[in-house]
Structure 1
Amino acid sequence: MARAEAEMRAAIVAEALSWERTPYHPRAKLKGVGVDCAMFPAAVFNAVGLVPVISPDYSPQWMLHRDEEQFLSWVTPYAREIDRGEVGPGDFAIWKFGRCYSHGAIVIDLPEVIHAVIIGGGVIRANIDRDEELRSRLVRFFTLFGDR
């Protein structure tokens, strides 16, 4: 891994960790005030300069009523899918909740991730191999590094 990539990955993780304990709030993305699992990675990747401001319009329960892969459509213009064995710090994981892939997290160092959750009350760390809510669901991994 090139030095610049390693530094950017470290910046992503540092920014993500700076959001820890931000309360959960649907469609919000204000550090320390409120954020959801879609806006959290959008805000983090924007803060480090990897993506533009992303502010989609969506219902907090869209994944329960639609098959459309709305969240994936926000991810794929900026990231490429990778296998679990390729995942590094600062990469992105997305789980299938409801009818489509609709819950995202930023990788700290697999299996550790950080994500915004209702049940946890906001932005928390999790272990994707131990946390039943995550390990029992289909997951896909993406990176913003390398060719798309």
Structure 2
Amino acid sequence: MNCADPAFVIATARSWLGTPYHDQASLREVGCDCLGLARGVWREVVGDEPFPIPPYSRDWGETGPREVLAEGARQMMPEIMPPDAGPGTLILFRMAPRAIAKHVGILTAPDRFIHAYERLGVVEEVLTPTWARKIAFAFLFPNPSSI
């Protein structure tokens, strides 16, 4: 599968900077959460979302037998190993030990990423060692012509 141009993914993600945080929303300049940011970037880079996103809990410490976000991403995006993730890659974070991955961001540089964070909205910040240790999965946005 061909992948989307990382520079286009990053430019699209940056166009969401400043969007206020709003749980389970996905509208640029109106409101979004971390998954809503990824969904919005998908719509602008790839096209229509392939399936509806069911409601989800905000509990970053949630445990369970299934990695629901990763399973959903695998249906639409090529998965790569987190150490191979470069700019333009969608990354999933496990926010607590033994918890399922529940936070999403997009790498903009080897040491920076964009995500939607409660009280801050969509921001670009440094991928500190603490954040980097929490990366559990990485996926590439597909090129729309390859789907």
User: Fold conserved (TM > 0.5)?
Assistant: yes
Amino acid at match of 1:46: R
Unpaired segments ≥5 residues, structure 2:
none
What is the match of residue 35 of structure 1?
32
What is the match of residue 125 of structure 2?
126
1:56 is aligned to 2:53: yes
What is the match of residue 77 of structure 2?
79
Amino acid at match of 1:139: A
What is the match of residue 117 of structure 1?
117
Cα pair 1:92 1:142 within 8 Å, conserved: yes
What is the match of residue 102 of structure 2?
102
Unpaired segments ≥5 residues, structure 1:
none
Amino acid at match of 1:95: F
Query: Structure 2: how far apart are the matches of 1:126 and 1:139?
Result: 18
Amino acid at match of 1:17: R
**Bigger RCO of structures 1 and 2 (CA < 8 A, at least 6 apart):** 2
Query: Structure 2: how far apart are the matches of 1:85 and 1:69?
Result: 19
Q: Secondary structure at the match of 2:39?
A: helix
1:13 aligns with one of 7, 10, 26: 10
Query: Structure 1: how far apart are the matches of 2:61 and 2:82?
Result: 26
Q: Secondary structure at the match of 1:38?
A: helix
Instruction: Return the TM-score normalized by structure 2.
Output: 0.79
1:140 is aligned to 2:137: yes
- For 1:38-71, what per-residue CA distance to the aligned partner results, in whole angstroms no more than 9, with x for missing partners? 1111110121125625531223325544413221
Q: Secondary structure at the match of 2:54?
A: coil
Q: Secondary structure at the match of 2:139?
A: strand
Query: Structure 2: how far apart are the matches of 1:135 and 1:144?
Result: 20
Amino acid at match of 2:111: P
- For 1:8-30, what per-residue CA distance to the aligned partner results, in whole angstroms no more than 9, with x for missing partners? 22211111000001011110001
1:88 is aligned to 2:86: yes
Instruction: Return the TM-score normalized by structure 1.
Output: 0.79
- For 1:60-107, what per-residue CA distance to the aligned partner results, in whole angstroms no more than 9, with x for missing partners? 325544413221122111122213443232111111124201111111
